[in-house]
């Protein structure tokens, strides 16, 4: 199988964690594909995924799979190791809901960074709206940290780990660990897993696409101020 991959992408990271958890790393060739939301799509990637998004998985019979949710669920049906998405019941919907929360948080963080590159300046309401969503999601995760801890490790945990990883990677000087101590404890415990330690996002020199090497203003969320 071929995976359109980037070491910077939180959504690709989900797939890499699943591959490692399922003992399937050696079954996938990772190909560095560059993308930028505020640029024309990567043509080569677009041949496999018309949306031009990472991650995209090309199967050995040339069928293609996207997005990260579909790829992760597919890989979970293969490989060894415990299921990351239970087949049915409460446990399944807890994992799917946490995955939606984690992925949604990542979407906001990616959009926020993109917005900061707009040459004409940021649309005024957006940082306020983004910040409100991030704060509210983090507050919910803080309340659910105990449940995250007691549930079997699954796709929901992976989505949340990747969102928190993106916060650490791109949102500087934020103090989320102080503001959300239970979530921070859970994150520290779960980060002991090899699959999570081995996939911490990294910048790399990449071939680049137009608009990719932007230098956005540094987004800062002051989590320690009173919530609006």
Q: Interface residues with ligand GSH (CB under 6 A)?
A: 9-11, 35, 37, 52-55, 67-69, 103
Shortest distance in whole angstroms from residue 100 CB to ligand GSH: 10
Beta bridge partners of 2: 29, 58
Of 51 and 224, which CB lies nearer to ligand GSH in the complex structure? 51
Peptide bond into 55 cis (omega under 30): yes
Of 11 and 186, which CB lies nearer to ligand GSH in the complex structure? 11
Stretch (H or E) spanning 184: helix 181-190
Distance between CA atoms of residues 217 and 222, nearest Å: 15
Of 34 and 179, which CB lies nearer to ligand GSH in the complex structure? 34
The alpha carbon of residue 98 and the mean position of all alpha carbons in its chain are separated, in whole angstroms, by: 12
Shortest distance in whole angstroms from residue 146 CB to ligand GSH: 27
Contact present, 65 and 56 (Cβ < 8 Å): yes
Of 84 and 179, which CB lies nearer to ligand GSH in the complex structure? 84
Write the CB contacts of 66 (distance below 8 Å, at least 6 apart in sequence).
49, 51, 53, 55, 56, 57
Contact present, 207 and 34 (Cβ < 8 Å): yes
Shortest distance in whole angstroms from residue 6 CB to ligand GSH: 7
Of 55 and 165, which CB lies nearer to ligand GSH in the complex structure? 55
Sheet holding 2-5, edge to edge: 29-32, 2-5, 56-58, 64-65
Shortest distance in whole angstroms from residue 187 CB to ligand GSH: 20
Residue nearest to ligand GSH (CB): 67
- Angle at CA 97, nearest 5°, toward 155 and 88? 70
Shortest distance in whole angstroms from residue 136 CB to ligand GSH: 20
Shortest distance in whole angstroms from residue 28 CB to ligand GSH: 16
Of 102 and 179, which CB lies nearer to ligand GSH in the complex structure? 102
């Amino acid at each position: 199988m071929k995976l359109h991959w980037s070491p910077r992408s939180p959504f690709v990271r989900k797939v890499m964690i699943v591959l490692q958890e399922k003992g399937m790393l050696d079954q996938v060739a990772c190909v560095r594909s560059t993308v930028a939301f505020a640029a024309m799509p990567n043509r080569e990637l677009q041949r496999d995924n018309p949306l031009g998004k990472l991650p995209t998985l090309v199967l050995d019979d040339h069928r293609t799979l996207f997005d990260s949710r579909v790829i992760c669920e597919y890989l979970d049906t293969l490989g060894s190791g415990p299921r990351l998405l239970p087949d049915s019941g409460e446990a399944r919907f807890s994992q799917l809901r946490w995955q939606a929360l984690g992925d949604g948080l990542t979407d906001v963080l990616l959009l926020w960074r993109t917005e900061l590159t707009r040459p004409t300046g940021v649309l005024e309401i957006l940082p306020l709206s983004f910040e409100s969503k991030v704060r509210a999601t983090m507050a919910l995760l803080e309340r659910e940290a105990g449940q995250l801890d007691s549930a079997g490790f699954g796709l929901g945990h992976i989505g949340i780990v990747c969102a928190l990883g993106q916060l650490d990677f791109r949102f500087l000087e934020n103090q989320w660990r102080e503001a959300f101590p239970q979530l921070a404890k859970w994150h520290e415990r779960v980060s002991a897993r090899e699959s999570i330690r081995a996939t911490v996002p990294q910048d790399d020199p990449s071939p680049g696409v137009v608009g990719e090497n932007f230098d956005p203003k540094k987004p800062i969320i002051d989590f320690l101020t009173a919530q609006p």
